[in-house]
């Protein structure tokens, strides 16, 4: 067992519990996803041995390779990377959650391709909070329309949103962006109902995200170390 992964997870869990307390969140209301892109299957195995059950991956082929090496484990797999429309089928077949849906075409394909023997695919819509043309994610003004068209898709369960603020904006900038996400989703809840997932916060900004209502944080570096 790699002690540093185990120790890192314990430290991250402590930070989450401390932030819940500091920002008046309910105890254990924030879940931890370990983001393992570029890491070998053995590192994921160590994370699972240390209590992690949610794993996030960005690159499809890399994720599928690791999944086949870890099929003996009970892992909840999250796809969090950009999605090309010709890659939706394996995503629909091999993941439990997708956090990076940012257009209807992708949602429709995932819905059509979700195998009948599996439960509906849990989906978050990726929100562009930095208003950069290059960044993926649906614009704030277009979220309500996308929610309205994704919600009726039977083989998907629309859970909430994912947002990734620009790190250059610093902690204050991230916190402001997370607040905007929270408010936007709260407004939508009054019309659309059950959007209970705010997927926001990474190694560098998870406290700010928890302060603004994150329900799941996606942590890579602070668990597995710096990526090459
Ligand atoms: C890589 C990645 C993370 C983890 O980022 P760290 O800064 O390493 O914690 C979280 N979310 C997404 C979408 C990522 O691509």
* 33 touches ligand 1 (CB under 6 Å): no
Rounded to whole angstroms, the Cα distance separating 154 from 110 reads 11
Give the model's pLDDT for residue 172.
87
End-to-end CA separation in angstroms for the chain: 22
Q: Is the pLDDT of residue 67 over 90?
A: yes
The closest-lying atom of ligand 1 relative to the alpha carbon of residue 58 is: 15
Which of 35, 52, 221, 225 should be mutated for ligand 1, with most atoms under 8 A from CB? 35
* 202 touches ligand 1 (CB under 6 Å): yes
Cα→Cα distances 207→16, 140, 202, Å: 7, 23, 9
Residue range 155-185, pLDDT digits in tens: 999 999 999 998 887 888 899 999 999 999 9
Contacts of residue 113, Cβ cutoff 8 Å, sequence gap at least 6: 88, 89, 92, 93
Rounded to whole angstroms, the Cα distance separating 95 from 223 reads 22
Q: Residue range 2-25: average pLDDT?
A: 95
Residue range 90-124, pLDDT digits in tens: 999 999 999 999 999 999 999 999 999 999 999 99
Four-point Cα dihedral 121, 227, 34, 89, nearest 10: 10
Please provide the average confidence, as pLDDT, over all residues in the chain: 94
Give the model's pLDDT for residue 134.
54
| Contact criterion met (CB below 8 Å) for 163 and 126 | yes
As a whole-number percent, the residues of the chain with pLDDT over 70 amount to 96
Token pair recorded at residue 164: 């990734």
Which of 59, 62, 220, 223 should be mutated for ligand 1, with most atoms under 8 A from CB? 220
Contacts of residue 184, Cβ cutoff 8 Å, sequence gap at least 6: 127, 140, 143, 161
As a whole-number percent, the residues of the chain with pLDDT over 90 amount to 87
Give the model's pLDDT for residue 228.
78
């Amino acid at each position: 067992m790699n002690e540093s992964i185990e120790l890192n997870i314990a430290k991250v869990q402590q930070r989450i519990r401390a932030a819940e307390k500091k920002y008046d969140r309910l105890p254990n209301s924030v879940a931890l996803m370990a983001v393992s892109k570029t890491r070998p299957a053995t590192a994921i195995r160590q994370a699972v041995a240390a209590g992690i059950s949610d794993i996030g991956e960005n690159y499809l082929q890399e994720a599928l390779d690791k999944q086949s090496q870890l099929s003996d484990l009970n892992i909840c797999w999250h796809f969090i990377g950009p999605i090309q429309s010709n890659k939706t089928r394996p995503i629909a077949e091999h993941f439990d959650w997708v956090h990076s849906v940012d257009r209807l075409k992708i949602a429709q394909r995932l819905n059509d391709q979700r195998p009948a023997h599996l439960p509906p695919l849990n989906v978050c819509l990726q929100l562009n909070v930095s208003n950069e043309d290059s960044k993926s994610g649906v614009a704030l003004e277009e979220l309500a329309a996308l929610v309205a068209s994704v919600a009726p898709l039977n083989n998907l369960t629309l859970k909430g949103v994912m947002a990734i603020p620009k790190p250059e904006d610093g902690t204050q900038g991230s916190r402001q962006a997370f607040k905007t996400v929270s408010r936007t989703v709260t407004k939508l809840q009054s019309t659309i109902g059950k959007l209970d997932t705010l997927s926001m916060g990474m190694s560098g900004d998870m406290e700010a995200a928890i302060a603004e209502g994150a329900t799941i944080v996606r942590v890579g570096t602070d668990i597995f170390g710096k990526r090459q």
